[in-house]
Amino acid sequence: MKKYVIFLIVTLCIFLTGCEEKKEEIVMVTEAGFAPYEYYSGGEIVGVDVDIAKRIAEKLGKKLVVKDVAFDSIISEVKTGKSDFGAAGISYTEERAKEVDFTINYAESKQVILVRKNSTIKTVDDIKNKRVAVQLGTVADTYLSEEYPSVSLVREKKFLAAIQDLKDRKVDVVVMDELPAKELLTDDLIILENPLLIDEYGMVVRKGNQELLTAINDAIKEMKASGEIEKMILSHMGVEEKEKNETIWDRFYNSVIKDQRYEFILEGLRNTLLIALGAVMIGIFLGTVAAISRNIYENTGHLRILHWISKSYVSIIRGTPSTLQLMIIYYVIFKQTDIHIILVGILAFGLNSGAYVAEIIRAGINSIPKGQWEAGYSLGLSYGKVMRGIILPQAVKNILPALGNEFITLVKETSIGAYIGIVELTKASDIIASRTYDYFFPLILIAIIYFVITLCLSKLIGLMEKRLNNARN
C-alpha cells in the first residue's frame, strides 16, 4: 500500500510539473461552435473573436491561449479567474453584468427565427404556444423566457442540436444569431424576414480587472474605427461550403480526414484514457481505505473518526451528480488555483469512483462467512493478517465483476468533462460536427471507440477471473 501511495504521489507531481502554465499567457474562453465568431479550422480555434483577441494579446505583450468550454460555463470561467476574458457572441444582460464586467460592443446581433419551409409560422407573433429550440444560456433563451412565457422552450447545448431538432420535427422553431444561422441553413429551412430582436455583442472580464477592460476597449475602438472588425466578419463568412450530392465517402472524408480532424479524436482518446486510468488509481486507493476503515470499526470499534469520514464521503458522493461534483471541484475548490484541467478531471472522477468502489469492496468483505474470521483468530492471527491473508483474496474474486463494471462506467462517464473544457471523445465529436454540420460519422466513430475500449476491459476482467478460478482450483 505504501508503494502504491508513493507511486501515485510521484506520478501526480511529475504531471503537475510538466503542466505548469506560463505567466505571460492570456486566456480567452469561448464556445467554439459559433461561426463566424469562433469555430475550428485546421485543428485550431479561429474566428472574429479570436482575431480581436489576438490584437488584445499583442497590445498587452502576451501570448493568447483560447479555451473551449460549454457556453453556459463561460461566465463562471471568467468570474472565478480560470480565464482572463470571455468572448462568444455574448450579449449584455443585467444578470450577467452582476457577475462580470462587459466591454464596449463590437458587433451587432440579430436573433432570427428559423422554421421549416412548409411551416405555417410566418411572423414573430406566430411563435406563441409553439415549441422553440435555443442554445442554453444565450440571449434568445433569456428573452423568450421573459417575453414569451407561452412558448415551450427546448434548451440545447449546441446550436447544431437545435437545428437537428427542427429538421426532425421535435420543435417548430429555432431562434439564434443571424450569422451562424446562415452557416447552418439547409434547403429545407428558411429564416423569417423579421428578427426576434436586435442586440450587440461584447466581451466579458472579471469584475475589478480595470486594466484588462481598458485594454480590450481600446483595441475594439481602434478596430471599429478602421473597419477591421467588419472585414474580419466578411473574411470568416462561408468558411465551410458544403457540396451537394455528397457520397458516403465524401461525408467520411469531411468528418474525419479533412483538415486532420482525426487529430481531435486522437486527442480525445488520449485524454479519456489518461483521466480514466488516473481516476481508477485514485478510486481503488480511496475505496480500499474507506471500506477497510469501516470494516475495522464494525469489527473492533477502532478508527471511529475515520469510519465517520469514510461513511460521510460515500454518502455525499453517491448522493450528488458527478457533473455537479466536477464543477464544484473546478469552480469552487480550485477557484484560485492554477491547476491543469486534466488533473481536475482525474481528481473529480477518482473521488466519484472511490465512493462506489468502497461499497463494492465492503460488500465483498461482508460476503465472506464469519467462520473465516474466527478460524484466523483461532490460529492467533491479528485482524490485519486475517484481512490480508484470508478475507481479501476471497473478496477480490467475488467483487471483480462489479469492479470491472465500475471501471467501464468510469470510462464512459468522462464524457461530462466537456463542461469544463476537457477535450475528451464526446467533445471531439462536437468539435468536428461544429464545422461539418454532420453528426453521423463523428458520433458513430466515437461510439465504436467506446465499444472497443469497454470490450477490451471486459475481456481483461474475464481473463483475471479465469486466472483466479484456476489458482483457487
DSSP output for 8-65 = HHHHHHHHHHHTPPPTTEEEEEE-S-BTTTBEEETTEEESHHHHHHHHHHHHHT-EEE
pLDDT at residue 241, rounded to an integer: 46
At 84 the pLDDT is: 94
CATH of 108-199, one of 3.40.190.10, 3.30.1360.40, 3.40.47.10, 3.40.50.170: 3.40.190.10
Residues 6+ apart with CB under 8 A from 128: 148, 150, 151
Residue ranges covered by each domain of the chain: 108-199, 262-472
Residue 13: Cβ-neighbour burial (10 angstroms; 0-12, 13-18, 19+): exposed
Number of neighbouring beta carbons within 10 Å of residue 183: 24
What pLDDT, in 10s, does the model give residues 194-213? 899 888 899 999 999 999 99
pLDDT of 174 reads 94
Q: What residue spans of 248-391 are helical by DSSP H?
A: 248-252, 262-300, 304-318, 322-328, 341-366, 370-378, 383-386
Closest CA to 48 of 102, 110, 90, 111: 90
Residue type at 194 in one-letter notation: N
What number of residues does the chain have? 473
**Residue carrying the nine cell digits 463523428:** 442
Amino acid identity, residue 15? Answer: F
Torsion, Cα 144 147 150 153, to 10 degrees, reads 10
Cβ–Cβ under 8 Å, residues 216 and 56: yes
Give the C-alpha separation, 248 to 448, whole Å. 18
Q: Which three cell numbers stand for residue 104?
A: 464596449
**Domain covering 262-472, topology:** MetI-like fold (1.10.3720)
* Burial profile 284-298: b = 16 or more Cβ within 10 angstroms, e = fewer: bbbbbbbbbbbbbbe
Strands 25-30 and 85-91: parallel
In eight-state DSSP terms, residue 241 is P
Q: Which residues, other chains included, contact 424 with Cβ-Cβ below 8 Å and sequence gap of 6+?
A: 268, 271, 272, 275, 414, 415, 417, 418
Peptide bond into 401 cis (omega under 30): no
- Please state the pTM of the whole predicted model: 0.67
Q: Kindly give the interhelix angle for 228-235 and 210-226, rounded to the nearest 10 degrees.
A: 80
Helix (H, G, I), strand (E, B) or coil at 138: coil
pLDDT in tens, 83-119: 999 999 898 888 899 999 999 999 887 899 999 998 9
Provide the b/e sequence for 223-254 (b: ≥16 CB within 10 Å): beeeebbeebbeebeeebeeeeeeeeeebbeb
- Tens of pLDDT, residue by residue, the chain (473 residues): 555 545 555 555 554 444 444 448 999 999 887 878 888 877 789 999 999 999 999 988 999 999 998 888 899 999 988 899 999 989 888 889 999 999 999 988 789 999 999 899 999 989 989 999 998 878 888 889 888 989 999 988 778 888 888 988 999 999 998 888 887 788 889 999 889 988 889 999 999 999 999 999 999 999 989 988 888 887 876 544 445 566 788 788 878 888 788 888 898 899 999 999 999 999 999 998 998 888 888 877 888 899 899 999 999 999 999 989 998 998 888 876 677 889 999 999 999 999 999 999 888 888 888 887 778 878 888 877 888 788 887 887 778 888 888 888 888 888 888 878 788 888 888 878 776 767 788 889 999 999 999 898 888 888 877 776 665 55
Tracing cell 469544463 back to the chain, one arrives at 420
Task: Look at strands 85-91 and 197-206 and give their pairing.
Answer: antiparallel
